[in-house]
Chain A
Amino acid sequence: MIVVPLIGLAWQALWANKLRSGLTLLGVVVGFTSVMTIISALEGMMGAIEDDLARLGPTTFIVQKWGIVTSEEQWLEVVKRKPFDKETGELISEGCELCETVAYSTGTGTDNVQYRGTNIRDVRVSGTTADYIDIVDLEVSEGRFHSFEDDVYRRHVAFIGDAVRERLYEGLDPIGRDVRIDGVKYTIIGVAKKQGGVFGGDERDSFVMIPFETFTKHYGFRGERMNYFVKAQSLETMDQAMDEVRMILRAKRHVPYDKPDDFAILTADNILEFLNSVTRMFRLGLVGVSSVSVVVGGIVVMNIMMVSVSERTREIGIRKSVGAKQSHILTQFLFEALITTFSGGLIGIIAGFLVAKSLVGMIDVDISPSGLAITLGLSISVGIGVIFGIYPAMKAARLDPIKALSYE
C-alpha cells in the first residue's frame, strides 16, 4: 500500500524540522491537556458522586418530606408540608407487601461530641434502626452496629464514623470507651470503615449513630427530619413497591386525588439525574471554554503548515517531476498535520489526566481515563488535523510542477 511510504515521508519531514515540529506539537498538547484536565476532573467528580449514590443500592428508595428543592416557589410549597408522624413508618412496613425492609433514620444536623474534655464539632448525630446497616452500604470495621435489642431497650450505645475515631481516640481502641453527645454519655460499640469524601474531606466519616428509640428519648420524634429507607424485594418490583408506598402515604396524609404528593420519594437514579441536570450547563460551559485552546492548537498547526508548504515549494515540484500525483502530495502533507495533532492529542490526553489527578486527586476521587473520553479525544485530534491540515495540503497538491520547480 502506497500510503505507508507516504506516512514515512511525512514523518521524515517532521523529523527534519525538529524544533518547529516540537513547538507545533506543544501548541496541540497544551490545548488537549487543558480540555482533558477539565473533562477528567469533571468525570472523576461525577463518578465519585455516582459511586456515593450507588451505596444506596439499586433497590432502595428514601421517603422524606423535603425531596430535591430547586426553586423558591417549590421551597414555599415544601415548607408547608405536614411532618411525618410516628405511625408512618409502621404503616409503610405493614402495608407495603413488596418492601423487604424499612429502616428509619433521623438526625440533629451537626452537633458537638466530646471525649474526656476533647470536643469536636460538625459531627452528624443520627438515630437509626438496627436494619439501617443492611440497607445502606456502610461497613463495620471494628465492633458492631447497634442491634434490635439496643433499640428496644433504648440503650446508650454509639456507632462512630472513622473521622470521629481519628479525632477523639487517636491511638486508642475506642470500643467500650464513652462518648458524650449534648452531655449524655454513650458507650462505643462499633466503628465504621472509612468512606472518604468526594473532595477529600472527612465530612462523610464525621458521624455518630445511636439507636432510633434512644435518639427519640432525648430529642423527641422529629417528623420533619425523618428518612424512611425502604428496600424493595427486587429490582423488578421496585417501581411497584414505590407505588405501594405512595398510595399508603397519600391515604394516610389525606392527599386529594387531583393533588401531587406532599412528600418525596428519592432513588439513587433520580438524585443522580438531578445532579446531572443542574451541573450540565456548567460542565458543558467549562468544556466549551477549554475547547477553544484545542482550536488554537489547530490554528498553530495550519499556520506552520502554510509556512512549510511555501518553503517546500521546490521540494513539491521535485516530487511531482518524478511522478507524485496530487493525491500523493496531499496525503503526505495531511499526514504531517495528522501526526502532529494525533500525537499532540495523545500526549495531551495523558498529561490532562495526570494534571487532573494531581489537582483533584486528593486521595479518594478515582480519576481513571474513561474509554469514551480517550476515544473522543483522539477522534477530535484526528478531526482537528484534517480540518486544519486539509487546506495547506490541498495548496501543496495543486501546485503547478513547472512553477514549483523554478521557485527560489
Chain B
Amino acid sequence: MALIETDNLWKTYIMGSEHLHALRGVTMSIEKGEYVAIMGPSGSGKSTLMNLIGCLDTPTKGEYKLNGKTVGNMNDDELANIRNREIGFVFQTFNLLPRASALHNVELPLIYNGTSASERRQQAEEALTKVELSERMFHKPSELSGGQRQRVAVARALVNNPSLLLADEPTGNLDSKTSQEMMKLFNLLHERGNTIILVTHERDIALHAHRVLSILDGQLASDERVAVGERNGASG
C-alpha cells in the first residue's frame, strides 16, 4: 500500500463568477520511505497540492488517500488529528511561535495529542538533540540563526514520529551555505527512514530528492527518478 495515493485530484477556487482551477486532475502515488521533490514555478499549483497532501485543505474533486484512509470527506477535527499524527510540516518562513522557547515550539504538537508534560519534555529534547540543537533549547527564535530556526522547525515536525515530513521551500529563507546544511539534514533524515516530500521551485534543491514530480498549470508534467549520479548532496 502506498503512503500517498491521489486519484484525479482537482482543486477549484471560486473567485466571484470565475472558477480558478489550481489543480486539474493530479494522479500519483508515493511509497513509504521515498524522498520526493514536487517542483514547479509559482502559480503552478504546487502549493495547493502541498496543502492537500498536508491535510490543510480538502480537494474539490477526486480522491486522496493517506495511509489508506480517504482524506477528502474528513471534517476539521479529523484533519487536525491527521496533521498532528501523520504529518510534520517545515515551512519556508519557519513558522515558529516567536515568544516561545525552542523547546516549547517543539512540544507544541504533543500538547494537542494529550501527551503528559514529562513525556512532552523528554520527546522534545530528543527531537532537538537529533537536529543538534540540544544546547539551545531555551532560546527563543529571535535568539537563533535562520538555520537554527529551521532546525527547530524540523525537530517540531519530527517530534510525533509522523509518516510524512512535508517541507515547503525549506531553504527559501536561508543562505546557500545554510541551505546545504539543511539539505544534508534532510538526506540524513531520509536515510533514517523518514518519508520526505520537498516542495520547491529550485531544481538545485529538488535534485537532492530521489524522485522529482513537476507540476505545471495544475497538472503533473513529469515524474522522473533521479539517478544516483545526478543527485546533489552526499547521500546515496
Interface residues of A (CB under 8 A from B): 1-2, 5-6, 9, 12, 16, 314-315, 317-328, 401-402, 405
Contact = CB atoms under 8 A, between A and B. Distances in A.
B80 interface: yes
Given A12-B99, A315-B97, 13 more contacts: A2-B112, A16-B99, A320-B80, A322-B109, A323-B80, A323-B109, A324-B80, A325-B80, A325-B81, A327-B77, A328-B112, A402-B56, A405-B91
B114 A314 contact: no
Contacts of A315: 97
Interface string B53-76: 010110000000000000000001
A405 B112 contact: no
Interface stretch (B35-43, B82-90, B129-137): B82-90
A272 to B, nearest CB: 55
A350 B117 CA distance: 34
B57 A402 contact: yes
B111 interface: yes
B89 A322 contact: yes
B57 A323 contact: no
A323 B91 contact: no
B122 interface: no
11 contacts: A318-B95, A318-B97, A320-B80, A321-B54, A321-B89, A322-B89, A323-B113, A325-B81, A325-B112, A326-B80, A405-B56
Given A16-B99, A401-B56, A405-B91, A5 B117 contact: yes
B51 interface: yes
Contact of B108 (A1, A322, A327, A401): A322
- The prevalent SS among residues of A at the interface is helix
A2 B77 contact: no
Counting from the closest, the 9 A-B pairs by CB-CB distance are: A323-B84, A322-B109, A325-B80, A323-B112, A323-B83, A16-B99, A2-B114, A325-B77, A5-B111
Contacts of B57: 402
Contacts of A1: 114
Contacts of A2: 111-112, 114
Contacts of A16: 99
A321 B56 contact: yes
Contacts of A320: 56, 80, 83
Residue of A2, A319, A322, A328 most packed against chain B (CB within 10 A): A322
A278 to B, nearest CB: 57
Nearest to A17: B99
